[in-house]
Amino acid sequence: MYSVRSSEINPFTVMQLLQRASEFEAEGKRVVHFEVGEPDFITAEPIVKAGIAALQKGKTKYTSAQGLLPLREQISKYYAKQGLDIAVSRIQITSGASGGLVLLAGLLLDPGDVMLITDPGYPCNKVFARLVGAATKALYLEAEHGFQLTLPDVQNAWEDNAKSILLASPSNPTGTMLPANELARISDWVKQQGGFVILDEIYQGLVYGNSPYSSGLQVNDDLLVLNSFSKFFGMTGWRLGWVVIPENAQERFTKLAQNLVISPSSIAQNAALAAFSREAMLIHEQRATEFAQRAQRLAKGLIDLGFKIPVMPEGAFYLYVDVSHTAMPSEEFCWRLIEDYQVAVTPGKDFGAYRSDQFVRFAYTTSDDSIDLGLERMAIALRDWGVMR
């Protein structure tokens, strides 16, 4: 008999939609992809060349569980350019941000502990806590607060067995950022309760306009920060991330990493050394600018079609869109779009339960041409459904 835990993990609707999209594409039909949160750009050439060179030089052995020292030093310098003094000893390389969060769950949580998470939020977060025998408690996010938590939200939800809270800025699926003053208030209060704040910053670098901070570490140095090479650096398939942890957590975190993963990929780490080069950073920054332009293009088109975007994103590459004017639940909306018009969008239920029937997530990780085609097809759909003339 397999574990109860494995039977209680729900599949993503988005993966089912993606499978259906693949079937249409196998038939020769063009599908517009707004569903997957992965940059459409391939990994920047300097990184690819560094990975190839590492293979050719035989750099295929295990590294330390903490990760390559030169890469950790590069990350420390990356923070220094943001005005932060983050010791190399606090930086640990992980097998993707997901691998980092598994290790953080093992570091912070015991059976019976509770981790506060957001709804809507990244759907896997609750699974990481469950794997170590802990539970999660979802805090509902409201548009009037920018789809972010306030200190009273946290205070009202905190309980005796609460041990940590997981925040995200910029967030998935809304793209919003937690205001600096609210992050400071929440982190200070949670510390007073003996708890820990994990800040998911995997979309750091993909921030538009005047950012309240480049890293939450500028607001509070005690945060446990989760980051990734997947989004801004465009290395999704390389499966590489990092965490910033307190000095006194290094030994415990390293022991967990040694036992659970041995080490992150040596090839990915050697490739990532080139991610911070001037040549690569120019590519990343140019792509971030393009994402910001796409956000405006898609948002304008959706609003023109009658959709509501309660809060415009400040970063990442998502729009969290209200589809209630279609008079159908968001999951039905998504399935009808893919089946009849070959437009793929993610329903709100993949990010939580709160008002999920009302919202869908659009990822603008596709070209301007595809965005325009998707908008054209949705206009036809809305007319066919009698929603728009």
Same domain, 243 and 262: yes
Task: For residue 234, tell me if it sits in a domain.
Answer: yes
Same domain, 9 and 63: no
Same domain, 152 and 8: no
pLDDT of residue 211: 78
Same domain, 56 and 35: no
pLDDT of residue 82: 94
Distance CA 108, CA 188 (A): 18
The last residue of one of the domains, among 277, 299, 331, is 277
pTM comes to: 0.95
CB 313 within 8 A of CB 147: no
Task: For residue 99, tell me if it sits in a domain.
Answer: yes
Same domain, 26 and 116: no
CATH of the domain at 341: 3.90.1150.10
The last residue of one of the domains, among 260, 277, 294, is 277
CB 344 within 8 A of CB 336: no
Same domain, 135 and 207: yes
Task: For residue 389, tell me if it sits in a domain.
Answer: no
Domain of residue 376: give its range: 4-42+279-383
Compute mean pLDDT per 10 residues along the chain, 389 residues long, and list them: 87 91 98 95 98 98 98 98 97 98 98 98 94 97 97 98 98 97 98 98 92 90 97 98 98 98 98 98 97 98 98 97 97 98 98 96 98 99 91
pLDDT of residue 168: 98
pLDDT of residue 213: 84
Same domain, 124 and 255: yes
CATH of the domain at 204: 3.40.640.10
Same domain, 31 and 139: no
Task: For residue 307, tell me if it sits in a domain.
Answer: yes
Same domain, 250 and 186: yes
Same domain, 135 and 255: yes
Distance CA 296, CA 247 (A): 41
Distance CA 95, CA 18 (A): 24
Task: For residue 190, tell me if it sits in a domain.
Answer: yes
Task: For residue 303, tell me if it sits in a domain.
Answer: yes
pLDDT of residue 212: 77
pLDDT of residue 233: 98
Same domain, 366 and 252: no
Phi, psi of 277 (to 5 degrees): -65, 155
The last residue of one of the domains, among 239, 262, 277, is 277
pLDDT of residue 377: 99
Alpha-carbon separation of residue 10 from 16, 30, 59, 268, 349 (angstroms): 12, 29, 38, 30, 11
How many domains does the chain divide into? Answer: 2
Task: For residue 388, tell me if it sits in a domain.
Answer: no
Task: For residue 254, tell me if it sits in a domain.
Answer: yes
Contacts with 54 (C-beta within 8 Å, 6 or more apart), sequence order = 60, 266, 267, 270, 271
Contacts with 289 (C-beta within 8 Å, 6 or more apart), sequence order = none
Same domain, 49 and 149: yes
